[in-house]
Chain A
Amino acid sequence: MSAPVTNSIALLRAQKGLSQQELADAIGVSRKTISTVETRRFVPSVVIALQLARYFGVTVEEIFSLDEDA
């Protein structure tokens, strides 16, 4: 079952030409964490959300949003 939160991590990562492993290393989490967040199997904590936003230079709302269809 997917979480009711959508995210644009895969898109932002593709724009920067990063692999999941490179992004995971950059923010200090496992590749599995990035992979499961991207596929909406896992909703990360505020700490990881803020780290992702800071890394990509965008706001948290630009990365995560509520799935209106859920």
Chain B
Amino acid sequence: MAKWNPEAQHTSLKYNAYIYLLQGLFFSALLGNSLAENYALDLGWLVDGVVITLVAVFIYFTARLARNNHRCSGGWREMLGLYDDEYMRDVVRTANSCALLALLVTIFMGLLLGGADKLGFEQNWLSLGRFTMLQIAIGSITWAMTILVSLRDGAEE
């Protein structure tokens, strides 16, 4: 099996994080639209605009990744995120831990809100769909931001 170029792994992970960040923003927009319905606000046009922008940015990042990385693609290792460069592995492990922690906190908050039925809160605001969108958004954004902060560019000394 050909060795996956370490620099290509760095590029792949960075673009992967951008794509996860876009996914988080996409679900945040959907959640915002869903919550706005409680105020009888029609934000459909705004959500459509955000979604179209995010799709355009997604296509841009995907095309740029394919263009910059096509000579040393990791193939199925890239799809599954099986990095063998040590620092990339360490960054992914850290991001996984942070995302898991963020999801556990979200689930715990959901448990508390779900139990507060005397307030009638969940009847108006909380639904399984909205809670799932919140989880996807929080998990994706946490994972992506951890990766991007860890991989922020430092000038060569």
A residues near B, CB below 8 A? Answer: 10, 19-21, 24, 28-33, 35-36, 38-39, 42, 44-45, 48
Contacts and interface: CB of A to CB of B under 8 A. Distances in A.
A44 to B, nearest CB: 6
Contact of B90 (A21, A38, A39, A42): A42
A30 B74 CA distance: 14
Nearest to B5: A30
Contacts of A36: 87
Given A28-B3, A30-B88, A33-B87, A38 B157 contact: yes
Main secondary structure of the interface of A (DSSP, over half): helix
Given A28-B3, A32-B10, A33-B6, 4 more contacts: A19-B156, A20-B156, A24-B7, A35-B154
A30 B87 contact: yes
B9 interface: yes
Contact of B85 (A19, A20, A33): A33
A24 B156 contact: no
Contacts of B156: 19-21, 31, 35
Given A42-B90, A44-B86, A48-B86, A30 B157 contact: no
Interface in B121-156: 151, 154, 156
B68 to A, nearest CB: 15
A21 B154 CA distance: 13
A20 B154 CA distance: 12
6 contacts: A30-B9, A30-B87, A30-B88, A32-B87, A35-B154, A36-B87
Contact of B87 (A20, A21, A29): A29
Contacts of A39: 154, 157
A30 B83 CA distance: 11
A42 B124 CA distance: 48
A38 B154 CA distance: 12
